Amino acid sequence: MEELIGQLDANLKVDNLQINHQTIEFWIHSKNSESPCPKCHQYSQKIHGHYIHTIQDLPIQGKTVYLHINVKRFQCTNPQCSVKTFGEYFKFSEPKAQKTKRLVDTIVDLSLDKSSLTAVYDFHQIGIKVKKSSLCNYQKKNSSN
């Protein structure tokens, strides 16, 4: 399972794995001990706290996959920076996103030639949980790129 998570980011470590009838859930954390501030880009090693961020990834064998990421919250050590604390950034998802970038890309690609209602139904059959409004937002965002 480490190989699957390693495809997203080589610095991720699996702490726990739970497989149910409909879901596969990974509890993971980053092995990085520092992270750059999103505003001033200065690296910080000063950990302010942690929180769990849950995002959905591509399904495995028709099961919905959830990543429960133990995100480190860092303190910016630059006194001139207006940002006091910030969370780790992961390249595989947008900040505060509920789905990985590769899952969003898959959703958009597979839904282009279908109605949104048909696409949502089809996605649920293969283990992708998405709402019609989210699907429309992903398509709209993709068409503007």
pTM of the model: 0.90
**C-alpha pair distances (Å), 30 with each of 8, 57, 62, 99:** 11, 17, 27, 18
For 34, other C-beta atoms within 10 Å of its C-beta total 12
Give the model confidence (pLDDT) of 118-136 as tens digits. Answer: 999 999 999 999 999 999 9
* Whether the Cβ atoms of residue 27 and residue 15 lie closer than 8 Å to each other: yes
Q: What is the token pair recorded at 76?
A: 């910016």
Separation CA 99–CA 66 (nearest Å): 9
Query: How many Å separate Cα 125 from the centre of its chain?
Result: 21
Query: How far apart, in whole angstroms, are the C-alpha atoms of residue 141 and residue 104?
Result: 11
pLDDT at 6 exceeding the cut of 90: no
**Position 29, amino acid:** H
Give residues with Cβ within 8 angstroms of 11, minimum separation 6: 30, 31, 32
81 or 145, which is more confident: 81
Phi and psi of 57, rounded to 5°?
A: -120, 180
